[in-house]
Structures are given as structure tokens and as C-alpha cells.
Amino acid sequence: MSFKVKDHYFNLAKKNNYLARSAFKLEEIDKKYSIINSGSHVLDLGYYPGSWIQYVLQKPKFSGMVTGVDIQEVNEGLAKNPRLNLYQMSIEDICELADIGVDKKFDVVQSDMAPKTTGIKTVDQLRSLSLVELVFYKLPILLKEGGDLVIKVFESQDAQNFFKDQKNQFEKINFLRPKSTRKVSKEYFVICKGYKFP
Ligand SMILES: C[S@@+](CC[C@H](N)C(=O)[O-])C[C@H]1O[C@@H](n2cnc3c(N)ncnc32)[C@H](O)[C@@H]1O
């Protein structure tokens, strides 16, 4: 069954010229929670290869700007779009907006960042949660008041507790496991709407 799901979204990604099937996860999240608006200023953390960025830039009437950050080498194929700026750096190295070439905070921060997995469940869960914690640590400099955050995390009790503790930072927090997620995957997405600036 999981292979059937894989084939379906793999083929669909190919048909839509998406660089990865992950695009369908963001599409489902966006359709359900209205994240990307026509003029949105979007920060994509862990963008590589760039299917989330493709989804955003191809949205009808999209006239906003997208900044992508990843530790991997810049995807030159994507980089030519005038609405897009890409940086090869770690989230850890973003200390101020100028580090990623902007001077105003983002309407949307989206993070599909995933750690290098070891296959050891507890280690991978901890690494995933560390990336999430880093994003929350940087949010005051990155996300504007009222803005939205979409973020991936691997399932764990610690992750649940972490998000419970963050609930006052946003108007509403929702959890979703998109249909295109592989059955074997332990990831889910947290959709945080309406940032209350601390
Ligand atoms: C699942 S992929 C993202 C796929 C992407 N959303 C797409 O649609 O093409 C996860 C990415 O997170 C990146 N990543 C992991 N740790 C990071 C960090 N500390 N800073 C920035 N990016 C990181 C990885 O290099 C990897 O490219």
C-alpha cells in the first residue's frame, strides 16, 4: 500500500514538473489553512531541492517574494526567478534579517527541514525537535506579528510537549499529516496561525 501511495505522488510530481513530491504536502496545508496569499513574503527553511518554492511561485496571481535557505548548494535551476533569493547557509547562522538580504519580517515562515537521519528513532526525533526549537528561537527576528508558521517535526512525546508550551505564541495551532506523506514516515506538520510577537 505504501508503495502505491509513493508511486501515485511520485508520478504526479513528475507530471507537474515538481522537484519533489513534498509539494503536495504544502499544497494540502495551504488549501486547508490558507497560508500563501498573493502578496506573501515567504521564508522557506530547508527549501532544497525546491518543490515548496515551486508551489508558491506557481500559485495563480502570486506577486510576493520568496527567500530560500538550505545547507545544500544553491539550486541554480531555481535561482533564476526574480521573485526568489536563495542562500546556502544553516538556520543557525541567521542572526538578523540582513543575513538573508531582506529588511522586513516575513508573512510566512515555512520549514520542511529534516535532520540527517540515523535510523535510531530517539536520536532522529531529538534532531528533528532541535531544528524546530531553533526555528522558534529565531522567530522574533523572522516572523511578523500576525504571520504564519508551517513546520515539520518527527512524532515524539517531547515534540507534543514542546508545541503545547508554544500555544500562547499563536492565535491557533493545528496539526496535520498530509495524505501524500509516506506511510512509514513519522513526520507531521504543525500549522501555527497568527503570531503574537513576544
Ligand atoms: C525534506 S528536505 C526539503 C524538501 C523541500 N521542502 C522541497 O519541497 O523540495 C529537508 C531539507 O532540510 C535541509 N536542512 C537540514 N538542516 C538544515 C539547517 N540546519 N539549515 C537549513 N537547512 C537544513 C536539508 O539540507 C534538506 O535539503
Which structural domain range is residue 113 located in? 2-195
The pLDDT of residue 4 is 55
User: Three cell numbers at 28?
Assistant: 494540502
The pLDDT of residue 184 is 87
For 68-92, how does the pLDDT look when each residue is reduced to its tens digit (9 = 90+)? 999 999 999 998 899 999 999 999 9
The pLDDT of residue 109 is 98
| Atom of ligand 1 at shortest range from CA of 52 | 8
For 96-127, how does the pLDDT look when each residue is reduced to its tens digit (9 = 90+)? 999 999 999 999 999 999 999 999 999 999 99
Q: How many domains in the chain?
A: 1
Taking the centre of ligand 1 as the mean of its atom positions, its distance from the CA of residue 13, in whole angstroms, is 18
- CATH number, position 71: 3.40.50.150
Ligand 1 site, residue 156, Cβ cutoff 6 A: no
What is the amino acid identity at position 36?
I
Pairing of strands 143-154, 106-111: parallel
- Do 97 and 104 touch, CB atoms closer than 8 A? yes
* Helices and strands: H and E segment counts in the chain: 6, 7
Angle between helices 121-142 and 157-166 (to 10 degrees): 20
- Do 84 and 60 touch, CB atoms closer than 8 A? no
